[in-house]
Every structure is written in structure tokens, then in C-alpha cells.
Structure 1
């Protein structure tokens, strides 16, 4: 019972679950790649906005952000439906004995210094970490689409701020675009990590089941 309490009822809140899952799920290569792409985008856009006279029109920047927000809404909403339905189907079809194997089978952790967790807990961590990121990005895109539509009342405020602080407004919009673009790439890579961790957990549970049903284990139990 202590094993089940530690593995299933370990996390008491959503923020605590996120930060705990972050220790196990985060792939440094995905983070570095997203940061590098965001930095490259920032560098090229910075040169274009400040030094190329053909794209200094400020109205093009919000349009580009709205286009990215629209793409983010369509992508994240479709992937969230796939994630939730697939994960629910996985636990609906899994046998109780297989679920028990996932709880008692330790997951092979590559990172050093982290406590051991089960395959079940790693699978739940992977799903919740991906789910939180996708929901957060979807919320960001929805907020921008709802509060900053094309031709909305915000244009009077942004036009005034742009006239008073042209370079600052360009820089703020550019940083927001780099942040959202880097985050977009990161959540795409998160889907790969989630599927890989789920695949590993299923393989380990199958291996444990085969070991329990092997002739050597059967002879040991009979003896």
C-alpha cells in the first residue's frame, strides 16, 4: 500500500505535479534547439525591422503574431483531442495486472541524482507535462486572438504607443514573437517525448510479464 501511495498519490497540486514532472520529462536537446531557433529568428527579424526599410511597417508585426496565434489554436486543439482520447483509451483497455506491473516496474532514468519512479508514474508525468504545456500555449493564443483582433479597439492604443516609443514597441513585439515561436517548436518536440516515454513504459511492462510467465520462473514457483 505504501508503494501505491508513493507512486499514485504522490503529487497534491497541479503546480507541484508540473515541477516534479519537469525533472524527469524535460529533454535538454529539445530546449536548446527551441532556444537556438528563437534566437536565430530574433536576430534575423531584428535586422529586418531596424535596418531594412522595406519591412519597417509596424502593422505587419501584429498581423504576423495573429497568424501564428491562429496556427497555434488549430494545432494545439487538434493535438489535445488526440492526447486526451488516446490516453483515456490506453487506460480503458489496459488490464489490471498490466497496470500493476507498470506501478511496480522501475523506469530506467538516464538523469543522475533523481529518485527512482515507476513506469506508471513516468507515463502520467509525461502526459500531464505535455498537457499543461499545450493548454498553456492554447490559452496564450486564445487570449491574443480574443483581445487583439484585426481592427479591434487596441489599435488606437498601439498606434499611440508606437508613435511615442517606436523602437521599444518593435522590440516588445519581436520578443513576443520569438518567445511564442520558440515555445511552439518546443511543444512539437514534447509530443515526441511523450510517445517515446509511453512506448518505453509499455515495453517494460510487457518484458516483466514475459519474465513472470517464463518457464524458469514457473519452475522456481513450483519448487
Structure 2
């Protein structure tokens, strides 16, 4: 068991998980019931961490206070990291390919991402598949209807949800040029780079890695609100 059970709990929980547990415990829920708010793939680990910190329904006031402190600390924490792609070894800060792979394969809850072009020689081609195969991790991908080849993307990611940009009422295709990765509703990578080998290794591309639960939630909710209007499900 960790010598710092509170630190271990704070490191593992997301802000949303912490606040959800706090609200339920404050309302008088048993720990076992409160844990149902946690993704099944993470529930056992969270239960062990709560037990190690001696938090739960036996002392709801203290437990809620600690959990709200965890949520608050993560909500106010802002980390802006520049992420570059440059030919050769010119990029010395936040190599783009490494950031994409690290973020996606390390997902615990979800990955939501958008790109204009998505080629099979992209590092994301395999990283997203690995993430989608992890228990309890949901993956949602948005691509341009013409450049992104949503059919091939869906074939590569059968467990993911894939959307393609729709058509306007006059028959013209909507261009989906957004490029981002959102992981676990907390971490956002905004980038000029497509999901392609050149964009990840040869081009000059720039992005920002941001830890911001509010921004992550806003991006995901905005994209979800456009299902059926600007985005359509890709054919399986």
C-alpha cells in the first residue's frame, strides 16, 4: 500500500470522478453505491484507494471534503505545454508523435479526437485501436467525409465510434478541419497536425497540450451536439 494513500487517491481520480463520489457520499450513499458512478474498469482500483485512505460512508463529511479538494485541485490546475513537429531532430520540446501516442495509449476513461486527414501510416492508427480495446475506455473519432476515409477508419477501429462530416442542404460536403485529442475529459491536445506520418514527423506543426477539465468537457459536448447535423455515423 502506498505510504501516501491520499496522494495516491488524488493522483488516480479524475476531477469528475472525485466530485461524483463526494456528492453521493454527502447524500448518504453507501460506499459501494457511490462507487457505481465510477467506470467499471476503474471501480476496483478506486475502491481500494478509498479504503487505503479510510474514506467512505463511515465518515461522509471528511470523505466528501477530501474528494472535493481533489476535484478542486485538478479543476484549477492548468498546464500549457508546446508540442512541435519538425524535420529531423529540430523539435526539442514536446515531440508531436510521442505526445499523441502517450496520451491515447494512457487513456483511462475516454478518447475523443478529430482530424481532417487520417492515414494508416499515422502513429494514431494503432494507438487509437489499442485504446479502444482497453476495458472501460470509449473512443470517438471525427474525420472529414472526403479526406478522412471514414470507412477505412471504422474498419481499423471496430470498437470505436466514428463520425464523418455531413453534407449541406445544397449537396456540398462540409469540411471538417478541426484537429484535437481529448483524453479522459481532462487533457486536451490542440494541434495544426493531421493524423499522418508527415504531420507527425516531417512537417513543421505546432500544438498546445492543455490540462483543463472545463475545456475538455466543452469540446466534447459541442461535438456531441452536432451529431445528426454536421456529423453522421460512419458505415461499419
TM > 0.5 fold call: no
TM-score by length of 2: 0.24
Structure number with the bigger relative contact order (C-alpha 8 A, sep ≥ 6) is 1
Larger radius of gyration: 1
More strand by share: 2
